[in-house]
Structure 1
Amino acid sequence: MPELQMRVSDDDRECAAQQLQHAFTEGRLTQLELEDRLEIALTAKTYGDLLGLIDDLPVDQPQVDDVVELESKNGHIKRSGDWAVPRRLRVTSKYGGVELDLSEAVVTHPVVDIELDLAYGSAKIILPEGGVANVDAFRSDHGHVSTSDVPGRRRPGALYVVISGRTKYGGLTVRYPRRRWFTQ
């Protein structure tokens, strides 16, 4: 698999280290096994290196290669409510829009990478309150990129979403959920 030869980031190494430490606290690894695996995890270069460290651990733990691809030629791609957000999300749409609402989603990663490849459509990404989005790697040929009041600089403890890719004829909007005012 070519994905196994892809180079890992510091966040990927940290995630694998957290998985190993969690497995140790559950009694699945001895102290010596934890130390050996942590040393390898913190110096890993590829996803293959990391997967070899956790492939004998229970599946209910998030996997290092947590990548989901969503594709549509003509339809609208939408995710909202209680859904599991992967570490990397690749979205491709030729003639449709994309709406990803992370405000009520289950996000177990401190950093989420969203790669958009849109031809004739726009994307809207709704972050949970306090979330941060970096859109520096996203390009719109004939449209706008709007982040409203969403900060772009990483903050400790806040979800950090990195959005990359492009759209030819469309835009990108990143915002927080709309506030609902209830009257009695």
Structure 2
Amino acid sequence: MSRVSDLDRDRAVTLVQQAYAVGRLDQAELEARLERALTAVSPGDLAPVVADLPGDEPVRLETVGGRVTRTGDWQVPQRLRVESEYGSVRLDLSRAHVPYGQVDIELRLAYGRALIILPAGATANADGVRSEWGRVICRAAGSPRHGGPHVRVTGELPYGRLVIRTRR
């Protein structure tokens, strides 16, 4: 039996809190769903907590050998999944609109490389990235701070390379 990860549990709690904040849930439903989310053991326990809530699907960007580039003034989604077999990824958040306190980026790069550029005051954590022969370099502060977004990067880069840095 697979177990629920802390990341999945945190995501469910965030969705429930957002639904309450916009009036989709009342106080009693909020409390009941939070209790179920925080005590969930398996994915089957967690799924009904968020099944009817919007916003759980990530924005997906995919390429085989091309480039995925987002720069300038673009809207950063709360959850982003980027997949590339051989291509390169450049996500420049330094001038982008980041309306969330935390952004989750999942990378699936077999042989590709990724560069994530953070805005001033942002932090990042790449502890959730698994690499076999590739490299993961994070030159940004790792602990979330008040005032700037926190970018949490997860995924797999068997032979790929990831660099996270702030804007120069």
Q: Give TM-score, length-normalised by structure 2.
A: 0.76
Which residue of structure 1 aligns with residue 26 of structure 2? 34
Alpha-carbon distance change, 72 to 154 in structure 1, aligned in 2, over 3 angstroms: same
Contact 2:112–2:160 under 8 Å retained in 1: yes
CA distance in structure 2 between the aligned counterparts of 1:99 and 1:35, rounded to whole angstroms:
41
Cα shift at 1:71: 1.0
Alignment of structure 1 residues 73-84 onto 2, 5 Å:
73-84=64-75
The 1-side partners of 2:47 and 2:122 are apart by: 27
Other-structure match for 2:97: 106
How far 1:15 sits from its partner (Å)? 4.6
**In structure 2, how many angstroms separate the alpha carbons of the residues matched to 1:161 and 1:106?**
14
Aligned-pair identity (%)? 40
CA RMSD of aligned residues (A): 2.5
- Which residue of 1 is the match for residue 113 of structure 2? 122
**1-side partners of 2:100 and 2:36: how far apart?**
19
Answer with 152-161 or 13-22: which moved more: 13-22
Distance 1:146 1:8, change over 3 A: closer
Residues 47 and 65, structure 1, Cα contact 8 Å, conserved in 2? no
TM value normalised by structure 1: 0.70
Shift of 1:135: 1.1
Count matched residues: 154
Structure 2 residue aligned with 1:166:
156
The structural deviation recorded for 1:99 is: 0.6
Q: Is residue 138–residue 164 contact of structure 2 (8 Å, CA) maintained in 1?
A: yes
2:50 maps to which residue?
Answer: 50
- Deviation (angstroms), 1:142: 3.2
Give yes or no for contact 1:81–1:105 (8 Å, CA) kept in 2: yes
* 8 Å contact kept, 2:136–2:161: yes
1:96–1:121 CA contact under 8 A, matched in 2: yes
CA shift for structure 1 position 124: 0.2
Determine the C-alpha separation between the residues in 1 that align with 2:112 and 2:70: 16
- Contact kept? 1:87, 1:113, Cα under 8 Å: yes
2:86 aligned counterpart, secondary structure: coil
CA contact (8 A) 1:16 1:64 kept: no
Q: How far 1:167 moved relative to its partner? A: 2.1
Q: 1:47: how far off?
A: 5.1
Query: Structure 2, unaligned stretches of length 5 or more?
Result: 1-6, 38-45
- What is the CA–CA distance in structure 2 between the aligned matches of 1:64 and 1:41, rounded to whole Å? 16
Q: Displacement of 1:66 after TM fit?
A: 4.1
Tell which structure's C-alpha radius of gyration is larger.
1
* One of 139, 152, 176 as aligned partner of 2:166: 176
Equivalent in the alignment of 1:9: 9
Pair 16,154 (structure 1): closer, same or farther in 2 beyond 3 Å: same
